[in-house]
Amino acid sequence: MKPSKQSNEVVLYDTTLRDGAQRKGISFSLEDKIKITKLLDDFGVSYIEGGWPGSNPKDFEYFQRVKAMRLKHAVVVAFGSTRRAGIAASEDANLQRLLEADTDAVALVGKSSSKHVLKVLRTTLDENLEMIKDSVRFLKQNGKEVIFDAEHYFDGFEEDREYSLKALLAAQEAGADWLVLCDTNGRHIPSRISQIVAETRAAVDVPLGIHAHNDGELAVANSLAAVESGVRQIQGTINGYGERCGNANLVSLTPTLQLKMGYSCVPQSSLVRLTELARTVSEIANLPPDPYAPYVGSAAFAHKAGLHAAAVEKFAASYEHMQPELVGNSREILISELSGRGNVRLVAAQISGSMPFAEQEVLESIKELEQKGYKFEDAQGSVELMIRRNDPSYEKPFELIDIMVVVNDRIGAGSQSEAVVKVKINGTVFHTVSVGRGPVHALDCALRKALQPVFPHIANVRLVDYKVRILDPDQATEATTRVVIEAASDEERWSTVGVSDNIIEASCQALVDSLELYLARYFSTATVQQNQEVVA
């Protein structure tokens, strides 16, 4: 799949399933690999490197399974190395496995550094060139598109320019379709990458690719520099996963190339799914999404400083390098002691454009509470509730009158927590008792028990995270505690905060606010729907 004559086309080659899987902590199952293949194909990646069929049974089975998939965009690639020294290509077991993988394209890694040939392969320089030619020719004779990965190319070029070019020319002579230049150790800087690519491009006729590692945190920059010097294939991974410090991050490269540099990489309609792709692959990899990832992180378009929020309110581009919606992300206005009235107005606008409230009063309350140890940056639900409560027409769905929590530690039977709550709803007091695995769990159960007869939909709420921070540990058991609770209903999530020198009280504050916010949102949505029905 060589690029067309259009000078603005850059081919994306994804190696998440091979190079990405070499990251410490990642172990893709066969089903994981199939899911990621479908995601990458839907997104519009041109090549998907599925693994090394000669290295393990799982990768070999992957290639058997992927044959049955009807891919719309991508060519699946099997990865392997040049033949061993001293044998014919047709007798090499690794090359035979590449044929058995039955893919249209294969990636063949070979040594292009004279130092590596002598010290790692421990063969002669001439024999390595023959290994490259024989292997490429063998695969071409069997009808394969061949992508030659010149391992340690940039290092080799610095050490012995003539030999590194000979390695590429050997692959070119044998019919390779792509010559990929590898910064295998992530050692180089963009200016040197550009120079070497330009010199290489002048010496060969086959289209060039770049395979950059991130050991110097320059993989993305080096890949962009290579493109500007004439490379037309970029190898990388989703979220930059890879061995050691990772590979070039296709999630950052794709929008940079397409939106900022004018190159065509994937269908334009795919870019709005970029954030979803990055986060879904991270879930499959069982790794938390990086909130600070460019373009797709939850903090990528988050504004905390009052000056910034006020400017963004008037002119979004004042503190944003692009529209977050273009890559499927969204703007977030954070509230903290650094906030101004603009932050509060923007948060209120996200809740309801017509909600009356005293923004200065809310802002002063936030600053005063943060002085006492509250932190609203990670508890935007509490801020939303403060704004709703400031609305003169707001009616609290329930009022907590009293709580009591008892922890019994019975010898030989373990501990048991019991919570007693009194809640007033529409003038009626509900008095409930519940037991739980711990005091917070017991309190949650007792509150739900009191609320569900009147608000049955409260059963949809589930607690998904509970975080405790000791604010002044030097005070020992009298220390102030901050509790943040994250709750969810279907795909919706929100966080609330409580602070006290009593961890049960802090937990209760966060828990009660969490449930009240859910009900406030529920009734607000119901009211809007009723009004729409009346208008209709």
Full residue range of the structural domain in which residue 489 is found:
399-535
In eight-state DSSP terms, residue 84 is: P
Instruction: Calculate the alpha carbon distances from 380 to 44, 363, 387, 484 in Å.
Output: 36, 13, 11, 11
User: Does residue 411 belong to any structural domain of this protein?
Assistant: yes
Same domain, 25 and 108: yes
Going by C-alpha positions, the residue among 487, 434, 494, 423 that lies closest to residue 460 is: 487
Token pair for 71 = 């891919």
Q: Give the total number of structural domains in the chain.
A: 3
**Number of Cβ within a 10 Å radius of residue 210:** 28
491: exposed, middle or buried (Cβ count in 10 Å: 0-12, 13-18, 19+): exposed
User: Does residue 290 belong to any structural domain of this protein?
Assistant: no
- What is the domain-level CATH number for residue 176? 3.20.20.70
Measured between alpha carbons, how far is 42 from 70 in angstroms, rounded to an integer? 11
Sequential pLDDT tens for the chain (536 residues): 555 445 689 999 999 999 999 999 999 999 999 999 999 999 999 999 999 997 788 888 999 999 999 999 999 999 999 999 999 999 999 999 999 999 999 999 999 999 999 999 999 999 999 999 999 999 999 999 999 999 999 999 999 999 999 999 999 999 999 999 999 999 999 999 999 999 999 999 999 999 999 999 999 999 999 999 999 999 999 999 999 999 999 999 999 999 999 999 999 999 999 999 999 999 999 998 898 999 999 888 876 665 555 565 555 666 678 898 999 988 766 665 555 666 666 666 666 666 666 677 777 787 788 778 887 777 888 888 888 888 888 889 999 999 998 888 766 666 788 999 999 999 999 999 998 888 889 999 999 999 999 999 999 999 888 888 888 777 766 678 899 999 998 878 898 999 998 889 999 999 999 999 999 888 876 544 444 444 34
User: Does residue 293 belong to any structural domain of this protein?
Assistant: no
Can you give the pLDDT at residue 528? 41
In eight-state DSSP terms, residue 427 is: T
User: Does residue 84 belong to any structural domain of this protein?
Assistant: yes
User: Does residue 314 belong to any structural domain of this protein?
Assistant: yes
Kindly report the backbone phi and psi dihedral angles of residue 278, in degrees, each rounded to the nearest multiple of 5, phi listed first.
-60, -45
In eight-state DSSP terms, residue 512 is: H
User: Which residues 6+ apart lie within 8 Å of 511 measured at CB?
Assistant: 440, 443, 444, 447, 485, 496, 498
Kindly report the backbone phi and psi dihedral angles of residue 207, in degrees, each rounded to the nearest multiple of 5, phi listed first.
-55, 145
Token pair for 210 = 């770049």
38: exposed, middle or buried (Cβ count in 10 Å: 0-12, 13-18, 19+): middle
Same domain, 321 and 408: no
Same domain, 36 and 173: yes
Kindly report the backbone phi and psi dihedral angles of residue 479, in degrees, each rounded to the nearest multiple of 5, phi listed first.
-65, 150
Measured between alpha carbons, how far is 167 from 114 in angstroms, rounded to an integer? 9
How does 435-450 read in b/e, with b if 16+ C-beta sit within 10 Å?
ebeebbbbbbbbbbbb
User: Does residue 277 belong to any structural domain of this protein?
Assistant: no
368: exposed, middle or buried (Cβ count in 10 Å: 0-12, 13-18, 19+): exposed
Same domain, 135 and 172: yes
Same domain, 384 and 426: no
User: Which residues 6+ apart lie within 8 Å of 366 measured at CB?
Assistant: 335, 336, 337, 339, 344, 376, 383, 386
Same domain, 176 and 204: yes
Widest Cα–Cα separation across the chain: 92
241, 266, 291 - which closes a domain: 266
Token pair for 186 = 């992530």
Token pair for 412 = 């030989």
Same domain, 111 and 243: yes
User: Does residue 440 belong to any structural domain of this protein?
Assistant: yes
Measured between alpha carbons, how far is 94 from 89 in angstroms, rounded to an integer? 9
Measured between alpha carbons, how far is 466 from 468 in angstroms, rounded to an integer? 7
Same domain, 49 and 188: yes
Instruction: Calculate the alpha carbon distances from 113 to 130, 179, 202, 248, 503 in Å.
Output: 15, 15, 19, 21, 61
147 DSSP β-pair partners: 107, 178
- Contact, 498 vs 505, CB < 8 A? yes
- Contact, 345 vs 311, CB < 8 A? no
User: Does residue 273 belong to any structural domain of this protein?
Assistant: no
Measured between alpha carbons, how far is 182 from 150 in angstroms, rounded to an integer? 6
Same domain, 453 and 480: yes
246, 266, 286 - which closes a domain: 266
Same domain, 359 and 409: no
Measured between alpha carbons, how far is 511 from 495 in angstroms, rounded to an integer? 10
Same domain, 66 and 190: yes
- What is the domain-level CATH number for residue 422? 3.30.160.270
- The three state secondary structure string of 186-250 is CCCCHHHHHHHHHHHHHHCCCCEEEEEECCCCCHHHHHHHHHHCCCCEEEEEHHHCCCCCCECEH
266, 285, 319 - which closes a domain: 266
Instruction: Calculate the alpha carbon distances from 165 to 157, 158, 200, 203 in Å.
Output: 8, 11, 7, 8
Same domain, 425 and 367: no
- Contact, 257 vs 231, CB < 8 A? no
Measured between alpha carbons, how far is 138 from 153 in angstroms, rounded to an integer? 23
